[in-house]
Amino acid sequence: MILFVIVLKLLKMNYNLLTIFVSFLSGLILISLFKKISFKFGIFRQSKGVSYLGGIAIFVSFVIAILTGSFLHEKSLSFDLWVIIIFALFFLILEFFDDLKDFSLRARIIVQFLLMFTYLFFAKKIEIYFFPNWLNYILSFFWIMGITNAFNLLDIKDGLCGGVALIIALFLALIALLNGDTQLFIVILALIGYLCAFLVFNLPPAKVYMGNSGSHFLGFVFAALSMRGDYATLNNPASILIPILLLAFPIIDTTYLTFQRIRKRILPLRKSDDHIFMHLLNKGKSHKKMLFVVYLLSFLWCMSALFLIKGFNYIFLFSLSVSLIFSLTVIFKANQKEDNKIKL
C-alpha cells in the first residue's frame, strides 16, 4: 500500500525529478572542476593524490538544485529551511578551514558548540510534548552534535559515508512525500542528486573525498531536517522514533566506536581504526563486500522507519527484528578476535 502511494505521488509530481537531474549534473561538473583546481594548485590533496574538495561542490550543487525545485513549484522555501541551509553553510566554512589548517580538536568543538547553540535560537527543536521545554532544547543540542559528528566519523573509506547518506536521503524523501511535505521533499531531492554524482567519483577506488567540510555538512543537514519533520501523531506516537531508525547505522557505528575508544582510553572524537567497517576490513574482508553489508544494514533500518509511518504492525516488527539481528551479527563478527575468523 505504501509503495502504491509513493508511485502515485511521483507520477503526479514527476517534474521533481528535474531537481535530481540538476543536482546530479551540477555535481558532476563541480566535482570535476574542483578536482582539477585541487591538482593544478596542489591544495586539498591527500598523499595518494585524491582531492577532498568534494565538500565544497556539495553546497553549490545543493543550492542550485534547491532553487531549481523552488522555481518549478513557483514557491520559495520556508524560513526554517533557509535557516538550516545557512547554518549548514557555516558548518561547511568552519570545516573547510579545518581541512586547510587542521584545527585542534578543542577549537573545533568550541566553534561547533557556538554554532549549534545559535542555530537552536532560530530553528525548530525537538518537541516531545510531555518533556519540559529546557529538556527538549538539551535533546535537540545533543542530537545535532551527535549526528553531525557521526557522519564525520563515518567518512573513513571510499564509498562508505556517501553511500550510507544516499540510502538515508532516499528514505527521508519517501517519508516526506508520504507526509505531503513538498518543501522538505525538494531539499532532499537536491541532496540525492549530488550524492549520486559524488559516488561516481567516490566509490572504490576513490578519486574525490568529501573532507571534513562535506561530512559535517551532511551530518548537520540530516540532523536538522530529521528534527524538522512532523512524524508523530496522536494515533501513532511511536513514529517519533522514525529519525532514530533512519539514522540507525551512523548512530550504531558511533556508539560502537565510542565504547572501543573509551576502552582504549582514547577520546571518542580522536582518530582510530575502531569502526565496525574497519574491524571487518582488518579481518581480511573485501572492501566492496563490506560496503554491500553496510549498505544493506542501512537499508534495513530505513525500511523499518518507513513501515513505522503506519504505526506498530507486523511488517514493522518483522523489519525491526531483521535489522536488529543483522546488526548484532555484524557487530559480533567485527568484534571477533583475529584467530576466530568466520566468513561473513
DSSP for 144-187?
Answer: HHHHHHHHHHHTTSTTHHHHHHHHHHHHHHHHHHHTT-HHHHHH
Average pLDDT of the segment spanning 320-329: 95
Average pLDDT of the segment spanning 291-307: 95
- The single-letter DSSP state of residue 308 is G
The residue among 47 and 17 whose pLDDT is bigger is 17
Q: Where are the alpha helices (DSSP H) in 123-275?
A: 133-154, 160-178, 182-202, 211-228, 242-246, 248-263
Q: For 65-101, what is each residue's pLDDT tens digit?
A: 888 877 776 677 888 889 999 999 998 988 888 777 7
Query: Which pLDDT value is given to residue 44?
Result: 64
Residue 234: CA atoms inside 13 Å, Cβ hemisphere, count? 0
Query: Which pLDDT value is given to residue 323?
Result: 96
Average pLDDT of the segment spanning 274-301: 89
The residue among 300 and 14 whose pLDDT is bigger is 300
In the predicted structure, residue 322 carries a pLDDT above the cut 80: yes
- Taking the alpha carbons at both ends of the chain, their separation in whole angstroms is 34
Query: Which pLDDT value is given to residue 11?
Result: 46
Give this prediction's pTM. 0.90
- Measured over all CA atoms, what is the biggest interatomic distance in the chain, rounded to whole angstroms? 62
Secondary structure of residue 233 in the 3-state scheme: coil
Residue 145: CA atoms inside 13 Å, Cβ hemisphere, count? 19
Residue boundaries of the structural domains of the chain: 1-230, 233-344
Secondary structure of residue 235 in the 3-state scheme: coil
The residue among 196 and 344 whose pLDDT is bigger is 196
- What is the overall mean pLDDT for the chain? 83
Q: For 122-172, what is each residue's pLDDT tens digit?
A: 887 877 776 788 888 888 999 999 999 999 989 988 999 999 999 999 999
Average pLDDT of the segment spanning 228-240: 63
Distances in Å between the Cα of 200 and the Cα atoms of 21, 31, 45, 163, 195 are 14, 10, 18, 11, 9
